[in-house]
Structure 1
């Protein structure tokens, strides 16, 4: 009999964060806000206080379109921006990427890392996620597909 692998719990909760004292959606993994989880693993990388890439908060329509197209993509593997710097709320500052793989029943964050893509001028947002400094301490995370979409649709709308 095949051993069942653990599935992570994903939730979008309304909270404040280090730099945003207005309640907003926060990605919570296994009971821990994602920015706090990354900060715990990488305390010198200034990840505490990053906010989800809330499509309604993004500075340009082009950025919002990119985020939504990647979240709802039918591709089996996609680089999805999941956290951003709250100062500018755009994809030009610190952006955390999840390498998302989809199966029939699960969504897997195979790797998580900090985007290092060169967007050029004018900005070529399609390049986001093409170069990533992967965070080796972050393990692969698996989520039930229906729970993943049920929760993250509160951010990507």
Structure 2
């Protein structure tokens, strides 16, 4: 069983806080890329952040964030923090759920071919070797909910409150 949580990071350029995901106390980026054989520039950011300005990109991420029970989806989990969209470097996790757990079966680099819409994201993935991560469903949902509260229309900033562990 793995743990999933969030940590507040400080953006050195903007001076603003943002959330990152920790898997067993290790950053999601480090966890996802540890078995990658592809040269990927470090500094990827979570796709759950409210940084995605394109409504369709945001919809794709959140529709796939928690698939229906006993189904499987390819979820964009990390994106290039320079471009902040799904058109550059995107790391995908293959996820599925049951009544009690969420499984991230593997990570990979999205190499899908799309020109006008990001909907095909996750259809072609260069998968990395690795092990399945298993999270308690309620713990996973708590992490999603922490990000979701910053997606509401009444929230206009991009600064996240500090989390104390």
TM-score w.r.t. the length of structure 2 is 0.79
How far residue 146 of structure 1 moved from its aligned partner, in angstroms, is 0.5
Matches within 5 A, 1:1-157: 7-16=1-10, 22-42=16-36, 45-74=39-68, 76-120=71-115, 122-123=116-117, 125-136=118-129, 138-156=130-148, 157=151
Which has a greater percent of helix? 1
Provide closer, same or farther for how the CA distance between residues 91 and 40 of structure 1 changes in structure 2, counting only shifts above 3 A. Answer: same
How far residue 153 of structure 1 moved from its aligned partner, in angstroms, is 2.5
Distance in 2 (CA, whole Å) between partners of 1:20 and 1:54 is: 19
CA contact (8 A) 1:10 1:147 kept: yes
Provide closer, same or farther for how the CA distance between residues 110 and 47 of structure 1 changes in structure 2, counting only shifts above 3 A. Answer: farther
The number of aligned residues is 148
Distance in 2 (CA, whole Å) between partners of 1:93 and 1:47 is: 11
Distance in 1 (CA, whole Å) between partners of 2:17 and 2:37 is: 24
SS of equivalent residue, structure 1 residue 63: helix
In the alignment, structure 2 segments of 5+ residues that lack a partner are 152-165
Provide closer, same or farther for how the CA distance between residues 119 and 55 of structure 1 changes in structure 2, counting only shifts above 3 A. Answer: farther
- Higher relative CO (Cα under 8 Å, sequence separation at least 6) belongs to 2
Deviating runs (4+, > 6 A) in structure 1?
A: 17-20
Distance in 2 (CA, whole Å) between partners of 1:11 and 1:81 is: 18
How far residue 48 of structure 1 moved from its aligned partner, in angstroms, is 2.5
Distance in 1 (CA, whole Å) between partners of 2:37 and 2:12 is: 14
